[in-house]
Amino acid sequence: MPSFTSGVAEADPDLEARLRVRLDEVEKQLVAAVHDDDGFIDEAAGHLLAAGGKRFRPLLVLLAAEFGDAGASDIAPAAVVIELTHLATLYHDDVMDEAALRRGAASANARWDNSIAILTGDYLFAVASRVVADLGPDAVRIQAETFQRLVHGQIHETIGPREGQDRLRHYLDVVADKTGSLVATAARFGAMTSGAPTAVVEALTEFGERIGVAFQLADDVIDIASESADSGKTPGTDLREGVPTLATLLVQAEARPEDARLLELLAGPITDDAEHAEALTLLRANPALDRARALVRQEADEARALLDGLADVPARAALASLCDRVVDRLG
């Protein structure tokens, strides 16, 4: 398993072995799903898939399935749908962010152009729709609702908060839509396709939403705090583009006199390299970054609490371990 997810079930070797086998199967189905006889489309669609990734969402599908019949035939295709949807959003996000790197490799828009990246993302959404159609009408409806939330979040991030709207609340709502929704659906699909009881499906869906939000907030903290491109992207990308994140919003909400220079830099996109480096240095030394870390921990704790009512199977401990790993990434 990729580095982030490896060892989540190390307390139970049998579960760890099952997850490895099933993630391998998901990977094979992903490759088959994106394959196209047209060589260029095949290369473009497989570009980010070949670059790797955490496979966090497929893993969550598989772990949620452990609360029902984990051998059910629809589980791996459900995981494929989730990862294809995630990959499609990355192609589009990189165009929106004008990002040059993704997963340590050139982004699709940098390697080709924006039009190709957008169309490839659309292609992957179409492939996900084809796969989900075989999972039945409930899965199609859930996928459509999730897609709606993803776009809803992207639109709201793009237009920004309305006049008088709390900027931090707006930001957290965007994170819930853009990231939490798909992670919630990953957990929901896993539990649902395994035949888990309704109450378990609902608890795991809410867990997915919470851990997804925590995961994204942690990514945003790491984007500022990391001295290197640990996330596979250029550090401070959102800062350079003037996109607000948790730490910058906390700085602006408090507006201390000693933060005057940082507030000046945060007033818009930072295109100058020296000013970008200065803003990163100031943010890393600001107490707002620690408060951001505390909010990530709180979100992860709330996710963990949702596991208390579930059956005490090895997957429950593995899900709790995922909460720990989200927090551990903060350093």
In this predicted model, what pLDDT tens digit does every residue of 46-102 receive, in sequence order? 777 777 777 899 999 999 999 999 999 999 999 999 999 998 888 767 666 656 656
Using DSSP, how many helices (H) and how many strands (E) does the chain show?
17, 2
Contact at 8 Å (CB) between 58 and 83? Answer: yes
Q: CA-CA distance, 149 to 70, in Å (whole number)?
A: 28
User: Which of left, alpha, beta for 107 (phi over 0: left; psi -120 to 50: alpha)?
Assistant: beta
* Joined tokens for residue 160: 């920004």
Average pLDDT over residues 155-180: 93
pTM above 0.85, yes or no: yes
* Joined tokens for residue 294: 């505390």
Contact at 8 Å (CB) between 293 and 331? Answer: no
Residues composing the chain: 331
For the chain, list the domains and their CATH numbers.
13-329 (1.10.600.10)
Share of the chain above pLDDT 70, in %: 88
Contact at 8 Å (CB) between 82 and 57? Answer: yes
Average pLDDT over residues 133-143: 97
Q: Comparing 17-31, 115-129, 160-174, which segment has the lowest mean pLDDT?
A: 115-129
Contact at 8 Å (CB) between 218 and 182? Answer: no
Q: Which of 234, 216, 183 is nearest to 64 (CA)?
A: 183
Q: How far is CA 73 from CA 14, 28, 316, in A?
A: 20, 15, 22
Is the pLDDT assigned to residue 230 strictly greater than 60?
Answer: no
Average pLDDT over residues 182-205: 97
* Joined tokens for residue 302: 């709330």
